[in-house]
Chain A
Amino acid sequence: MNLRKARVAGLLLASVGVVAILVAHWMVVFWVPTEASMGVVQRIFYIHVPAAWTTFLAFGLVALASLAYLWLGDDRADAAAVAAAEGGLVFGAIMLTSGPLWARVAWGTYWTWEPRLTLTLLLWFTYLGYFLVRGSMADPRKGRRFAAVVAVFGSLNIPLIHVSVSWFRSLHPEAVVIKPEGPTLHPDMLATLLTSLGGFTLLFLGLFSLRYSVEHASRRLQAARFRESTGVSP
């Protein structure tokens, strides 16, 4: 994609995302009914779930882009992987801090060694490792390749998360939206969740496009500087 187009699309998506998140926050505070059993704290759900969804979307993108980079060796795939990984770490941090706040009231503890929670934390650390590997290789080209390998290997953990949830008894709330018999969530709650979900997704995609264009532009700048100093086209 043209860099200018990516930047404009990024700004547009991020702006719409921010507006949608602001609307979702208004709905969370003033509009949506309070959940009967957990009380007011359940409203964190409208932040936690979209953050979790965005994190997994981001990490999925990192895995796909990394696979493409290993396969094709195209630098644009690597730029996309970094952009998505940074987004994944940020939204993952939102998920991993909002979750315990909710859990403290709902389950009486900030943290519980529940499989889905544990494996999500591990996945987050895997992507932290992604950045450590990238930054710790003397040859940046090798850093990109090795980081892509870590991302692909790490993404193997995603199916394990699903398996562990179904194999072990879990404290985690059951699925309330995507079920074969249709959502059991109150329609107002569903509307708030979907607004927030849409906002988070658009914000992530916007930030992803912006970060991608910055990464791509910085590489082009580096190449141009190189050309200037050496007289050889890269």
Chain B
Amino acid sequence: MRELRWGCMIALKDLRLELRSGSRLLAMIAFVVLSALLFSVSLNLAHLEVRGLVAGLVWLTTLFAVTAGAGRAFDTEENDGAFRHVLLTPVSRGAIFLGKTAANWVLVWFVTMLAFFALTTFMEIRSPGPLAWHGAVFLPGTIGLAVTGTFFGRVSNHSTLGDTLLPVLTFPLLVPVVFFGATATSRILLERPWLEISGPVRFLWAFAVGSAVAGTVLFRHVADE
């Protein structure tokens, strides 16, 4: 219960900081909308199977936005050395990780939704299928993205390679998420029955829960000096 309260405090603090500065969110929004625009003008939609393509692009855009934005979750902590003081409180490292991840997840969820609406609008998909089903796919997918982005954001934060390292570490782990996410999203766009979608969704949940547990347990090894 105490862990949950700590996690909530950290997440609320991060979200409050994000809303006040807004710079990271704004950059992610601009990135997503502009990417959707560029994809739409650069692809000749007349000769492509658009629905499958849009599904892939939604997940790819989100993945790149996560790498560019969510990986920077620790920048506000390091600006004036605040994280050192957070680590010196009795809060468990797992609670810190879950709090940071929860705040990141809100951003990733928002960005995924934006990517979805921007791409379906720009690529003129009139009936994208039941939104609740899309939500059921995005939920575990975005949790997996947020967990991995937050965890390895901390690792690359320490590295002299900085931002260059983050995609090398996260992409191999996240490609399965993008693969199963895009498969499920494209099947919804193609109006396939839920039975064909539930398999990839189960996989996404397995990844989300597995990586959240691994991240919570392992975070103490990358949090402290």
Contact = CB atoms under 8 A, between A and B. Distances in A.
B161 interface: yes
Interface in A134-160: 136-138, 142, 145-146, 148-150, 152-154, 156-157, 160
A123 interface: yes
Contacts of A153: 151, 173, 211, 214-215, 218
Q: Which of B159, B165, B222 has the largest number of chain A CB atoms within 10 A?
A: B159
B160 to A, nearest CB: 5
A154 B172 contact: yes
Given A126-B172, A136-B159, A149 B218 contact: yes
Contacts of B169: 126, 129, 132-133, 150
A70 B93 CA distance: 15
B36 to A, nearest CB: 24
A148 B158 CA distance: 15
B165 A129 contact: yes
Interface in A149-191: 149-150, 152-154, 156-157, 160, 163-164, 167
A138 B176 contact: no
Contacts of B215: 153
Contact of B168 (A119, A125, A145, A163): A125
Taking residues whose C-beta sits less than 8 angstroms from the other chain, chain A's interface range is 20 to 34
A106 interface: no
B74 interface: no
Given A125-B172, A138-B160, A156-B214, 5 more contacts: A123-B172, A126-B172, A136-B165, A157-B173, A160-B176
12 contacts: A122-B172, A123-B172, A125-B168, A125-B172, A126-B169, A126-B173, A129-B169, A142-B158, A146-B155, A152-B218, A156-B173, A160-B176
Closest 7 CB pairs of A and B: A122-B172, A136-B159, A125-B172, A136-B161, A126-B172, A129-B169, A136-B160
B22 interface: no
A160 B159 contact: no
A70 B221 contact: yes
Nearest to B170: A129
Nearest to A127: B172
Given A136-B161, A142-B158, A119 B214 contact: no
Given A125-B168, A156-B211, A150 B176 contact: no
B175 interface: yes
B218 to A, nearest CB: 5
Contacts of A40: none
A137 B218 contact: no
Interface string A99-142: 00000000000000000001100110110110011001110001
A118 B177 CA distance: 13
A153 B221 CA distance: 12
Given A132-B161, A132-B165, A146-B158, A157 B172 contact: yes
A133 B214 contact: no
B214 to A, nearest CB: 6
A153 B155 CA distance: 12
B84 to A, nearest CB: 15
B171 interface: yes
A149 B218 CA distance: 7
A156 B210 CA distance: 8
B221 A148 contact: yes
B207 interface: yes
Nearest to B217: A152
A86 B8 CA distance: 42
Interface in B143-173: 151, 155, 158-161, 165, 168-169, 171-173
A138 B160 CA distance: 7
Interface string B196-225: 000100010011001100110010011001
A73 to B, nearest CB: 10
A39 to B, nearest CB: 33
A119 B176 contact: yes
